Chains A and B, each alone.
Chain A
Amino acid sequence: MDTTEITSLIQPKEPKKLSIISFSGDFDKLVATFTLATGAAATGYEVNIFFTFWGLDAIKEKKGRAFVGKGFLGKIFGFLMGGLHSAPVSRLNFCGISPKIFRYLMRKKNVATLEELVEAAKALEVNMYACEMAMHILGLQKSDFIHEVKDVLGVATFLDISEGGRTLFI
């Protein structure tokens, strides 16, 4: 038995857990979030995604632009932010033309689209959480999100959930 084998016996392996803070609502960054999440879940990881600020757009029940949220400003923000289908790309958005081109290219090249990745995340039972504080600012409620959103959390609970695994901020 060599040193590496002995070390691996003494030190238990890091649990297979991936936690992602999904901050950006950009199309390309959401593709990265859901690619990592579904790939990890499919290879045996426990996966947690904590959606906050712009990231909340990805889990809204209404996928396009809609006056979601409480209060006048909340509704205006809700409309401007939009949902999964109206996510802009982080560079060269060209007034929303680029996400359409990306979706076309992804379908043409048989790469999973953002919507397919989200459906895969649901099927693989990825744990999705919404940020309580960001929801409060934007006047959003849990009922404004897809029903797969497991819970509404604050920082302390997210840190407890993600403890012992790897955490990414996207």
Chain B
Amino acid sequence: MSTVKLDITKEHCPMTFVKTKIALSKLQTGEILEVLLVEGEPLQNVPKSSREQGYKVLEVSHVEGLVHKVLIEK
């Protein structure tokens, strides 16, 4: 199962959500999106809104400093 990587650590609202949504829309069902994001709004809401839209959040883990990794399956 292939994994696509997306770094939104330098993005701000609303592009954090926009880039995640566009990246997810390009995936095939079953593929995984690995998102690197920072604490605060992106960490709180990217996994939440992905779940609400029917995607499966497989993992949310701390990478370093403010950066976290979220694995989302389409």
Contact = CB atoms under 8 A, between A and B. Distances in A.
Interface size grouping (class) on chain B: 10 to 19
Given A43-B49, A44-B49, A44-B53, A35 B13 contact: yes
17 contacts: A35-B13, A36-B14, A38-B17, A39-B13, A41-B18, A42-B18, A42-B22, A42-B49, A44-B52, A44-B53, A112-B18, A116-B15, A120-B14, A120-B22, A123-B18, A123-B22, A124-B18
A128 to B, nearest CB: 16
Nearest to B12: A111
Interface of A: 35-36, 38-39, 41-44, 109-112, 116-117, 120, 123-124
B73 to A, nearest CB: 17
Interface in B13-54: 13-15, 17-18, 20-22, 45, 49, 52-53
A42 B11 contact: no
A42 B12 contact: no
A110 B52 contact: no
A43 B13 CA distance: 12
Q: Count chain B CB atoms within 10 A of each CB in A36, A42, A109, A117 and give the residue with the most.
A: A42
The residue in A109, A111, A120 that gathers the most chain B C-beta atoms within 10 A of its C-beta is A120
Contact of A112 (B15, B45, B49): B15
Contacts of A39: 13-14, 17-18
